[in-house]
Amino acid sequence: MTSFKDVVKVFDKLEETSATLEKIRILKQLFNSVDPEEIDKLIYLTQGILHPNYLPMPPIGIAEKVAIKAISKMSRLKETNIKKIIDESGGIGNAIEKILKQRKSTKTLDSFIKKPGQAVSKEKDQSISEVYNSLDEISNQVGTGSTLKKIDLLSNLLSRSTPKEAKYILRIILGTLRMGIADMTIINALSIAFTDSKKNKEFIEEKYNICPDLGRIGKILSKKGLEGLNEINIQVGIPIKMMLAQRAKSIEDIFERMGAKFACEYKYDGERVQAHKNDNKIFLFSRNTENITKMYPDIVDAVKKLQSKTLIIEGEVVAIDPITGRIKPFQELMRRRRKHDIDQKKLEYPVELYLFDILFKNGENLLKEPYIKRRNILEKIVLESDLGENSILKLATQKIVSTNTELEQFFQDSLDQCEGLMIKSINESSIYQAGNRGYIWLKLKKSYQSKMIDSVDTVVIGAYMGRGRRGGSYGALLCAVYNKSKNLFQSICKLGSGFKDEDLERMPEIFGRLELIEKPPDIDIVAEKLVPDIWFKPEVVCSVIGDEITLSPDHRAGYNLIRENAGFAIRFPRFLGFREDKSVKDITTIEEIMELYNKQTK
Ligand code: AMP
C-alpha cells in the first residue's frame, strides 16, 4: 500500500515544474515507488479521473457550492467565511489547505472536532486505494438525496486528510487538477519506469491507441513488463483512438502528397461516431472516446441490423430535415445531443450515419489493411445487410479521383450538402493510423474559401506543362498583379484549378503567340521552384478567386510591404475566367491587394 500523503508531495512537485522532461522524471520515480496493485488508481487520480472515459460511469465532479457545504460541515465554518477564504487564497484547493492547517496544527481534524463520547481516532496514513474508493463512493451517489450523501462522504474524507491531501482531493473532485500531465507524458514515464528503454513508448502508445486506458496499461507494465502488453488487442466495447486528417494546403499539395490517384469522400458536417457491435450489444463512441450510446438509440437499432457478429465501424452522424431529407448544419445535431428526453428528441431531430471506415470485423483487426480493402469490406457489409432504402445507415459518397477537374467538380458537388471533401490515400501504406493526425487523410473545406472577399484580375506571365490528362499542354498558369511604382508585374499565385475542359483546350490558341524564351525584365518572381516552363508576354488577363490572401516567401507581389521576405499570395486560387474585355492596364494593383488583405476577416 502506498500512502496518499507521499503521492500529494509529488503532485506538488509536478505542479511546480513546467518542463516536460522533468515531469516525466518525477512521474517515473513515483510509478516505480508505488504498489503495483495500486498503480492503476494512482494513474487515474493523476489524470483527475476515476475510470477511463469510455465507461458509462457517473462523472466524479460535484459543484463548488456542494464542496463548500462539505467543508463547512467538516470545519464548522460558515459558508460565507469559506467563500472569503477561497477568494483570498486563489481557489478552493488552497483554501482547504489553509483551513486545515489552521485548525489541525499537529492533530488530525477527527480528534479536533470529535463529538462527546466518541473515541479519538489515531492518525493513520490513508492509502491511494482508500482515497480512490472514497471518491468512487462519492461519485456513485445518484438520484434523490444523493447530494446530502455526497456532502457527508466528502466531509468525512476531508476530515481524515492532511491539508495537502485535501487540497488535491478537492481539485480532483472539482475537475481543476491542472498539473499539465498529458497522456504522452504518462506513457513516456511508464516506458522508462518499467521497460529498459524510452523507445518502447511507441509500442505502449500503439496499445494505448486501441485501449485508451492508461490505468490498465500501467498496471500490466508494472506487473508483467512490456511483454504483458501483448494481451491487449482490439476489443469490441473499448474504443479505438480515432484517425485524424491534416489540412490540405492547396490542390497542388493534394496531388503532391497523394500521388496521381486518391479517394475523395464527402466531408459530412456532424459528429464522428465509432460504432461497436457484438451481436445485439451496441456501443457508440465519440471522437474523444466518450461513450455516447444513449444519445443515439436510432443508430443503435440500425447498427444491430448489420450482418456481422462483431464489428467496429466509423461514420459521421448528421441531422436530417424530416421533410426534405436534406442534411442540416452541425448546430442542429447539437440540439439532439442530449442526455435526457432522447425519445422525444429522436423524433424532432432525425439523424443519418454516413459510414466511411471499418476497423474490425468478426475477430479480424483491419487497422493495417489499406484503404481500398477496408472500403470494399465496408461496402460489402452495407450492401449484403439489405438495410433497405429508408435505413439511416448510408455509405459516405466516394469517388476515386485523378485529375484537377474531377477533384474540383467533386468538391463543388460536395458543397451542396457537405462542408467539403476528405481526401484519402489509396496507397498500399494507407492504413488506419489510430490516434494520429497524419497526411494519409487530408481535409479540404469550404470555409477555407470564405475569407477572400473579391476576385482578383491577374495577368498570366508563364505556364507549367501539364501531366496526366493535361500532358502536352499547359497544366497550370503563373499569374501576376501590377506594381505601379516599380512598373513590374509581380507574381501572386500558381493557378492550376477551376479550369473547365474547354478552357484547357483553348489555352494553346490563346497563349501560343505570347510564348517567350526568356523572362522579360518587367516580370518579377522570387522562388526558384516557381520558375515556369514557359514565359509569356504579359497580355492575357484572367480572373482568380482564392480562399484568402496570405503572406508567402514564394511570391513577389508587395514583397517586404507587410512582412520581411514575404509577398502577397492567393491561397487556393481558382480560375474564374479569361477577361477578354480587359487589358493588362486594368489588372489589380498592389494597392488593391493590400486593401483586400486588410479587409478580409482574420
Ligand atoms: P476536422 O474536424 O475539421 O478536423 O475534420 C475531420 C473530421 O471530419 C473527422 O473527425 C470526422 O468527424 C469528419 N468527417 C466527415 N466526413 C468524413 C469522412 N468521409 N471521412 C472522415 N472523416 C469525416
Higher pLDDT: 57 or 128? It is 128
Do 406 and 465 reside in the same domain of the chain? no
Place 124 in a pLDDT band, splitting at 50, 70 and 90.
confident
What does the pLDDT read at residue 106? 45
Residues identified as active-site: 267
Higher pLDDT: 208 or 252? It is 208
Higher pLDDT: 115 or 556? It is 556
Place 65 in a pLDDT band, splitting at 50, 70 and 90.
confident
Do 368 and 488 reside in the same domain of the chain? no
Q: Whose CA is nearest to atom 4 of ligand 1?
A: 245
Do 470 and 595 reside in the same domain of the chain? yes
What does the pLDDT read at residue 392? 95
Q: Work out how many domains the chain is built from and give that number.
A: 2
What does the pLDDT read at residue 162? 94
Highest mean pLDDT among 43-52, 514-523, 546-555: 43-52
What does the pLDDT read at residue 548? 87
Residue range of the domain that includes 292: 244-445
**pLDDT over 70 at 408, yes or no:** yes
CATH code of 499's domain: 2.40.50.140
Starting at the earlier edge strand, list the strands of the sheet with 262-266.
244-247, 437-445, 420-424, 262-266, 398-401
Amino acid at residue number 245:
A
Note whether residue 31 is domain-resident: no
What does the pLDDT read at residue 123? 58
Q: How far is CA 555 from CA 480, 505, 524, 530, 574, in A?
A: 9, 28, 9, 9, 17
What does the pLDDT read at residue 122? 47
Do 347 and 430 reside in the same domain of the chain? yes
Q: What percent of the chain has pLDDT over 90?
A: 63
By the 10 Å C-beta count (0-12 exposed, 13-18 middle, 19+ buried), 88 is classed as exposed
What does the pLDDT read at residue 602? 52
Extract the C-alpha cell encoding 288: 474523444
Q: Which of 397, 415, 445 is the last residue of a domain?
A: 445
Do 359 and 434 reside in the same domain of the chain? yes
Amino acid at residue number 137:
E
421 C-beta closer than 6 A to ligand 1: no
What does the pLDDT read at residue 118? 45
What does the pLDDT read at residue 208? 98
136 Cβ contact list (under 8 Å, min separation 6): 50
Q: Whose CA is nearest to atom 16 of ligand 1?
A: 267
Euclidean distance between CA atoms 237 and 284, whole angstroms = 8
Closest listed residue to residue 92, CA positions, set 177, 161, 159 = 177
316 C-beta closer than 6 A to ligand 1: yes
Euclidean distance between CA atoms 534 and 555, whole angstroms = 18
What does the pLDDT read at residue 601? 53
Do 390 and 476 reside in the same domain of the chain? no
| pLDDT tens column, 413-443 | 999 899 899 999 999 999 999 999 889 999 9
Closest listed residue to residue 482, CA positions, set 587, 597, 570, 553 = 587
| pLDDT tens column, 531-553 | 999 999 899 999 999 888 999 99
What does the pLDDT read at residue 104? 65
Name the 3-class secondary structure at 347.
helix
Do 276 and 418 reside in the same domain of the chain? yes
Do 366 and 478 reside in the same domain of the chain? no
**pLDDT over 90 at 482, yes or no:** yes
**pLDDT over 80 at 36, yes or no:** yes
The most distant pair of C-alpha atoms in the chain lies apart, rounded to whole Å, by 108
In ligand 1, the atom with minimum distance to the C-alpha of 267 is 16
| pLDDT tens column, 159-209 | 999 999 999 999 999 877 878 788 999 999 999 999 978 889 999 999 999
Note whether residue 542 is domain-resident: yes
In ligand 1, the atom with minimum distance to the C-alpha of 424 is 20
- Count the neighbouring beta carbons within 10 Å of the beta carbon of residue 246: 15
What pTM does this model have? 0.74
Place 113 in a pLDDT band, splitting at 50, 70 and 90.
low
What does the pLDDT read at residue 117? 44
422 C-beta closer than 6 A to ligand 1: yes
What does the pLDDT read at residue 120? 43
Q: Whose CA is nearest to atom 12 of ligand 1?
A: 272
